[in-house]
Amino acid sequence: MRALLQRVREAQVTVDGDVLGQCGPGLMILVCAMQGDTEAEAGKLAAKAARLRIFPDAAGKMNRSVTDIGGTALVVSQFTLAADTRRGNRPGFSAAAAPETGAALYEAFAAALRGEGIATETGRFGANMQVSLVNDGPVTIWLDTEA
C-alpha cells in the first residue's frame, strides 16, 4: 500500500458540495491499495502513520506523532498514487488493486487508524472528490509498504 501524508492545520473532502469528512490539526492521508496488498499491510501502514514523528515538540523539532498531539486524520482514496509514468505521457494505473479490493483495503486502513486511537474521517471511495487543506510546514511524507 502507498500513502501520502500531509501535516495539516485543517483539511476537508467534499462531493457535490457536501462535506463528507474533515480534520485538523493532524494528518491528511491519501491512500492507494496496490495489487497483492493485504489487510495486514493496511494495518502496518496505519500504525506507521500513527507513530510517525512529524509534529513539533516544545523546542520546535519534529519529535511528536499525530497520536502524541491528539490530532485527527482525514483519509482519502487516491488510486493515482499507483501511477506508472515510465512510458509516454499518459500514466498507467494497472498496478493499483482492483476496485473491490481497493475499497476494502481503504476501509481497513481507516479502521486501523481509528484502532490506533486517532479520530478518523474519510472521503468516498471511487467518487470525484474535491479536497482542500492547509498544509502545515509544509510537511509531506511518502510511505510505501514495499519500501
Q: pLDDT per position in the chain (147 positions), as tens? A: 999 999 999 999 999 999 999 999 999 999 999 999 999 999 999 999 999 999 999 999 999 999 999 999 999 999 999 999 999 999 999 999 999 999 999 999 999 999 999 999 999 999 999 999 999 999 999 999 987
**Domain boundaries of the chain, sorted by first residue:** 2-144
Helix or strand run (H / E) with residue 48? helix 39-51
- The catalytic position among 6, 79, 120, 122 is 79
- The catalytic position among 6, 12, 78, 122 is 78
**What's the pLDDT score for residue 33?**
98
Peptide bond into 91 cis (omega under 30): no
Half-sphere exposure (Cβ direction) of 90: Cα atoms closer than 13 Å: 1
**What's the pLDDT score for residue 146?**
86
Question: Residue type at 22?
Answer: Q
Map grid coordinates 481507516 to a residue.
110
What's the grid cell of residue 41?
Answer: 499491510
Which residues are registered as beta bridge partners of 18? 15
* Architecture of the CATH domain 2-144: 3-Layer(bba) Sandwich (3.50)
What's the grid cell of residue 54?
Answer: 512529524
Contact 71, 28 (CB under 8 A): no
Task: Verify whether residue 72 is a known catalytic residue.
Answer: no
**What's the pLDDT score for residue 138?**
96
pTM: 0.95
